[in-house]
Amino acid sequence: MSIDRRTFLSFLAAGVATPYVVTFTSGDAQAGLVSADAPLNQDSHRVFSLSVSSGDPTPTGVVLWTRVDPSAWRAGQALIVQVARDPEFIQLEFESIVESQNIRPERDYCVSIDVDGYLQPNLRYYYRFVYDNTVSRTGRCRTAPPFGAELDHLKLALLTCQDYTNGYYGALAQIAQDDSIDFVLHLGDFIYETAGDPRFQSLPFEDRLIVLPSDGLVALDLDDYRHLYKTYRSDPFLQQAMEQHTFIITRDDHETANDAYWDYERDTLGAPDHPFTLDAAYGNDPARLNQLMLDSQQAWLEYVPARVEVDWSSSDPHRFLKYYRRVQLGNLVDLFMLDGRSYRTAHPCGEGDFFERYVPYGCSNWQSDQQSLLGADQRDWLLNGVIGSTARWKLLGNQTYMGSLGIQLSNGKMPINVDAWDGFDYERNLINNEIAANQVENFVVVTGDLHTYMASHIKQDYDNRSIFNFNNFIGVEFMTPSVTSAGLFDMIGASTPQGEQQLLAQAVTNTAVRLTNPHIRYFNTTQNGYSTIEFSNKQCDWKAYIVDKNVNDGEQAVKLIRHYRKYTTFPWLVTQAALIY
């Protein structure tokens, strides 16, 4: 099959916009840039030790990613990228060269290539890289449906919190094998900055231990963050999932530091548990914390395929990287991927653990109008986008629980965790009121962070418990569980005073949570896995799965634990038949 002559321009290679012009006249890969006279070497791991991946679909492209192993790097050696309709690469759709100067140690030999503008909408493609006559493993990617196009069905897998040290990635193996998934949303904590935090990393798996270049327990610089990404991306099940599906990824706190925020008084990163803040040897130095944020951002940019705004010349983290973005998927789903860390104010009740960030007894500042999780610019962008959207479903990719989650006291309900949206009640109410006032229909939030399965209603007024006040129900929220990370009680229980741990354990059971928070339909903080969400014109379906993190087996059993449906014509979540485990 012959393909017309083409010209390819304006690539994003290793984060630098650089023009390339490449032409070819045949659909046969061996007649293009790859020579038919020299059979390709198949030892892909030698050159592409972290394999390949794709991200951020548009109707005419995706971002393709790989890394040339430093041991295989050769000065002057170019990288070839190919995209085809078939896994044999006979029907080439796209082929080009990434010049050698864009494969460099300054970007840790990582390359991201944006092929937006060169592919066809709503199709699955195959792609690969060739370097030094060695071919990478073949990846699959998918382009988005055309903007506004009629779409009958869309299925997304939901992931979060994949602490490498705390278990195995059987859940990712299951996702890799599921061809019904259109795209994968990763809602943050792709890595954990810690290599052994005793508060939430018990390190039970000797083969999952991590030793950072700095030899510390927490990432201190760019080399440490890069080492973490390389370790995580070396996992075969994570590689399989990223080879088989196009990911849409946002960041949460552990890509930088636990419970991170922006310290506006000092104009630097707030990292309440990091050594730079706590260790007198580092002096809580604002410049050092600012650089830590920049280092974490750079490592994320190097190792995650994402179409984001970057200013490599800036030393201001807010200018260096803006990663909140919108992904439009036909007329069915309008996805808004949020940044809940870069612009948020400090925790409302202090930076200590118990009675401050967690279970803030006696504190009321979480309702202050000075608290912001998104920042004004991002909040306006979100509201304008959601209110103006004509898609059937408006979907928020959100890191921390947006609903209300608290314990009932004699004088009212006290939030459990003000690192989530409960610490930013004024801004949450502002958003919910705008959603209600503008009669936004089919509003759905997907969430990670809390290492818990949750299905809940979003209400304009959570104190109004009437199930028949239909106007008070403005949407639904689904929290996907952690892939491996410790459950909610393990996560905050270690910071709880010894005498109060039993009280906290009782407070976070399914029965206790639902009694105090009746808008929550399901709550399970004891198991791990993943979930999926499927959209059609009349309904969306959330399915939650358990996959045992203690088993390092890609063929292990997966169990459907809950299935909830939200109809467009009905305000409540409806339980569907499921295997209850």
> What is the predicted pLDDT for the residue at 383?
98
Rounded CA gap, 547 and 549, in Å?
6
Of the listed ranges 157-166, 219-228, 412-421, the one predicted with least confidence: 412-421
- 374-397 mean pLDDT: 98
> What is the predicted pLDDT for the residue at 492?
58
Task: Supply the angle between the helices 222-233 and 286-303 in degrees, to the nearest 10.
Answer: 30
Task: Supply the angle between the helices 376-388 and 425-437 in degrees, to the nearest 10.
Answer: 20
- Measured in whole angstroms, the distance separating CA 346 from the mean position of its chain's CA atoms is 22
Going by C-alpha positions, the residue among 62, 11, 451 that lies closest to residue 247 is 62
pLDDT digits (tens, 9 = 90+) for 337-354: 999 999 999 999 999 988
> What is the predicted pLDDT for the residue at 564?
98
pLDDT digits (tens, 9 = 90+) for 140-195: 999 999 999 999 999 999 999 999 999 999 999 999 999 999 999 999 999 999 99
Q: Which residues contact 427 (CB under 8 A, 6 or more apart)?
A: 371, 372, 373, 374, 379, 421
Grade residue 68 by pLDDT with cuts at 50, 70 and 90: very high
Q: Quick check: 386 pLDDT over 50?
A: yes
> What is the predicted pLDDT for the residue at 196?
84
3-state secondary structure of 365: helix
Rounded CA gap, 139 and 141, in Å?
7
Residue 456: CB atoms within 10 A of its CB come to: 28
Quote the strand ranges of 191-303, DSSP E.
Answer: 246-249, 261-263, 268-270
Name which residue leads in pLDDT, 479 or 505. Answer: 479
pLDDT digits (tens, 9 = 90+) for 24-52: 233 433 445 776 567 899 999 999 999 99
Rounded CA gap, 24 and 7, in Å?
9
> What is the predicted pLDDT for the residue at 204?
87
- 92-120 mean pLDDT: 95
- 224-238 mean pLDDT: 98
> What is the predicted pLDDT for the residue at 31?
41
Name which residue leads in pLDDT, 407 or 200. Answer: 407
Q: Quick check: 509 pLDDT over 50?
A: yes
- The three-point CA angle 420-559-151 to 5° equals 70
- How many residues comprise the chain? 581
Q: Quick check: 429 pLDDT over 90?
A: yes
> What is the predicted pLDDT for the residue at 37?
60
